[in-house]
Amino acid sequence: MQHGTYFVIVLLSALALIAAAGAQAADPTVLWNRTYGEAYANDSAYAIVSDPGGAGFFLAGETASFGEGKTDARVIRLTSEGIEEWNRTYGGEEADTARSIIQTDDGNLLFAGNLTLVTNETQADTDAWIVKIDLSGSEVWNRTYGRRLPLRRLHHPPGRKRVRRMGGQAERVGCGGLEQNVRRG
């Protein structure tokens, strides 16, 4: 036989196997479908990871519904039925987001995204941002990675937490001593 004939036989056999497998596969069933966030607020989820204890899921994304800034990074803990157990926001006064989330070897979670700070009251500085949280959403530590900026004072409204930069270092100030270092040289 010629090569074209072999090709046709193999192709028809593959199509027959695909059709048989498709006929036996059941239609997927939606177990639950939920929406999180406020209407028209541009809330987003970018990543999901299963709860290390197997009791649900963690979503990571951003919210404009509430929090401190234009958008804040947001982590939501869900039960296995999709019911929200808690949600936490992280970030400052500008557009901050969590783009991915993973489990760590010590049973905590790590999310990665972007943190934006305003320098000289007008210039935005967006850095890569990694935050480690425990299973209740409490921050263990956070770090930013980006270029070093010269000495600048960051704008902050009265009564809000602020960030101070000094020669490539930034440290968060305020909020009852719960703040962590944002950047170390």
For 6-17, how does the pLDDT look when each residue is reduced to its tens digit (9 = 90+)? Answer: 565 666 676 666
pLDDT band at 137 (very low <50, low <70, confident <90, very high): very high
Write the DSSP symbol of residue 95: B
- What tokens does 162 get? 């602020």
Number of domains in the chain: 1
Q: Is residue 158 part of a domain?
A: no
Residue 70: the pLDDT is: 87
pLDDT greater than 60 at residue 36:
yes
Q: What domain range is 94 assigned to?
A: 30-146
Q: Is residue 141 part of a domain?
A: yes
Q: Please state the pTM of the whole predicted model.
A: 0.65
Q: Is residue 182 part of a domain?
A: no
Q: Is residue 83 part of a domain?
A: yes
pLDDT greater than 80 at residue 77:
yes
Q: Is residue 72 part of a domain?
A: yes
Distance CA 112, CA 140 (A): 14
Nearest to 116 by CA among 68, 151, 53: 68
Which of 92-106, 140-154, 163-177: highest mean pLDDT? 92-106
Nearest to 78 by CA among 39, 96, 110, 51: 51
Q: Is residue 106 part of a domain?
A: yes
Q: Is residue 133 part of a domain?
A: yes
Going 154 to 148 to 96 to 84, the CA torsion angle's sign is negative
Q: Is residue 152 part of a domain?
A: no
